[in-house]
A and B are shown apart, each in its own frame.
Chain A
């Protein structure tokens, strides 16, 4: 009987130890456009609601966003990237350090502009409000293959984009921007995407 009690006691003592050994993956994402604290804190708040998430931290000044997540859930960096975008933010880079030490980076290497590229620079209207809009618009533009630079002005609402005209068109850039939630001169964002933008990005819709 004494032996049974000792074994039961040992098992009971071991349970918390096993739980304490639960391993976590460390996620670090660089987020751009955290200009408005109300929306920036909202990102942190939304992630805190995920079951199992720990150590959620966002540095508003640097845009460094980090958290840990149970390794057993095998959360991918792509899923995190998608979630950050769904929350209305713009992930610029990121990586996950798995509990076993392996590291996975967010996104692939962007294909370089061809050496014989014919670069042209054009401007178009893109609706938006704030720094968060700016980050999203610029990222959506520069993610288009063939685009070398993109600059959006919050006051004039003009997007100036330089691109290889052999590889893409201004229309393709506008489509990509609209897909990210911003009405452009020729393309309207889907209502659902527009509505998922953070409050500060709720710009006045364009009438076509």
Chain B
């Protein structure tokens, strides 16, 4: 009997050890063609995935196969969009407006300050943030009405050299400081906290997405997406199928990357690394739910 217990314990131990050894990483699952759409931004509503097609001055709603379901036309270079419920926030680079679309109606986000080429917007409950490209600053508001501004043109920490995307999380504001080739993190008073990615030789950090454990950055000219933890340690580099990536978001466990010029979305999933592939850098804590 003692032997049976020992054997059982041994089997359990082996089984646990095997489980721990299953290394996972983000892996390319499929490519969705979005013919005729050069997506710069992505946002999710209950209707599906909205894409901002800056080259063609419109928003495009697609289904899971990439087919166009609906469009919103006559925009002026829509960029990194965001959604809150059914409300779509659309920064328009060409006319310096941030428009809000809900139930087919268009409103304009009222700002006391004028923008110069808004390139990205983020919404987090009532909070709003705007990446103001040519003004080299971020506008942030706790209520969507009164905005504070931080940043100026430069290379020092806290400065920007053309910010293209921004995301608000529970405690922080994350900025894709595009042509300084880095990510910068601020508190909600606009105080600089940390910089991420300076050692990665990025060439245009154009898009950012942050989940509770990871920071995803599109490295536009180097054809890759870099994944860091919140401390700024590189976890994984996605390059398979990636070409001129400009936007990345996570939705229902899937990671979507927009290949800007190739008119396609790449879908990555968190799964076991196939045998024989190097996964030394790929095993890390990961949050599936966003």
Give the interface of A toward B (CB within 8 A).
35-38, 41-42, 44-45, 48, 59-61, 129-130, 154, 199-200, 202
Chain B 44-75 near chain A by CB (<8 Å), digits 1 or 0: 00000000001100000000000000000000
- Give CA–CA (A37, B203) in the complex, Å: 14
**Are B94 and A44 in contact, with the CB atoms below 8 A?**
yes
- Give CA–CA (A154, B221) in the complex, Å: 9
**Are A45 and B203 in contact, with the CB atoms below 8 A?**
no
- Give CA–CA (A200, B221) in the complex, Å: 9
- Give CA–CA (A119, B44) in the complex, Å: 57
Name the distance in Å between A65's Cβ and chain B's nearest Cβ: 13
Residues from 71 to 102 in B contacting A, C-beta threshold 8 Å = 77, 79, 93-94
On chain A, the residues within 8 Å of B256 by CB distance are none
- Give CA–CA (A170, B246) in the complex, Å: 37
- Give CA–CA (A45, B261) in the complex, Å: 21
On chain B, the residues within 8 Å of A37 by CB distance are 38, 40, 54-55, 77, 246, 260
On chain B, the residues within 8 Å of A36 by CB distance are 204, 220
Q: Is B140 an interface residue (CB 8 A)?
A: no
**Are B133 and A38 in contact, with the CB atoms below 8 A?**
yes
- Give CA–CA (A179, B260) in the complex, Å: 32
Q: Is B268 an interface residue (CB 8 A)?
A: no
- Contact A130 to B203, CB < 8 A, known contacts A36-B220, A199-B162: yes
Looking at the complex, which one of B55, B178, B261 makes contact with A38 (CB distance below 8 Å)? B178
Chain B 131-166 near chain A by CB (<8 Å), digits 1 or 0: 001100000000000000000000000000110100
Name the distance in Å between B42's Cβ and chain A's nearest Cβ: 14
**Are A130 and B117 in contact, with the CB atoms below 8 A?**
no
Extra A-B contacts (18), CB below 8 Å, given A37-B246, A41-B94, A41-B117: A35-B261, A36-B220, A37-B38, A37-B55, A38-B79, A38-B119, A38-B133, A38-B162, A41-B77, A41-B93, A42-B134, A60-B55, A61-B38, A129-B221, A130-B204, A154-B221, A199-B179, A200-B178
A selection of 8 A-B contacts at a CB cut-off of 8 Å is A37-B246, A38-B164, A38-B206, A41-B54, A45-B93, A48-B94, A59-B55, A130-B221
On chain B, the residues within 8 Å of A35 by CB distance are 244, 261
On chain A, the residues within 8 Å of B77 by CB distance are 37, 41, 44
On chain A, the residues within 8 Å of B134 by CB distance are 42
- Give CA–CA (A19, B133) in the complex, Å: 37
**Are B178 and A61 in contact, with the CB atoms below 8 A?**
no
On chain B, the residues within 8 Å of A60 by CB distance are 38, 55
- Contact A129 to B203, CB < 8 A, known contacts A38-B119, A41-B117, A202-B179: yes
Give the interface of B toward A (CB within 8 A).
38, 40, 54-55, 77, 79, 93-94, 117, 119, 133-134, 161-162, 164, 178-179, 203-204, 206, 220-221, 244, 246, 260-261
**Are A199 and B94 in contact, with the CB atoms below 8 A?**
no
On chain B, the residues within 8 Å of A200 by CB distance are 178-179, 204, 221
- Give CA–CA (A35, B79) in the complex, Å: 15
Looking at the complex, which one of B54, B117, B260 makes contact with A45 (CB distance below 8 Å)? B117
On chain A, the residues within 8 Å of B246 by CB distance are 37
**Are B94 and A45 in contact, with the CB atoms below 8 A?**
yes
On chain A, the residues within 8 Å of B117 by CB distance are 38, 41-42, 45
On chain B, the residues within 8 Å of A199 by CB distance are 161-162, 178-179
Name the distance in Å between B284's Cβ and chain A's nearest Cβ: 29
- Give CA–CA (A59, B57) in the complex, Å: 11
- Give CA–CA (A61, B77) in the complex, Å: 14
- Give CA–CA (A59, B38) in the complex, Å: 12
The 7 closest A-B pairs by CB, nearest first: A199-B162, A199-B179, A60-B55, A41-B77, A41-B93, A202-B179, A130-B221
Name the distance in Å between B207's Cβ and chain A's nearest Cβ: 11
On chain A, the residues within 8 Å of B161 by CB distance are 199, 202
Name the distance in Å between A40's Cβ and chain B's nearest Cβ: 9
Q: Which residue of chain A is the closest to B155 with respect to CB atoms?
A: A202
The interface centre, meaning the residue of B134, B204, B261 with most chain A CB atoms within 10 A of its CB, is B204
Name the distance in Å between B75's Cβ and chain A's nearest Cβ: 12
- Give CA–CA (A36, B162) in the complex, Å: 13
Name the distance in Å between A62's Cβ and chain B's nearest Cβ: 11
On chain A, the residues within 8 Å of B220 by CB distance are 36
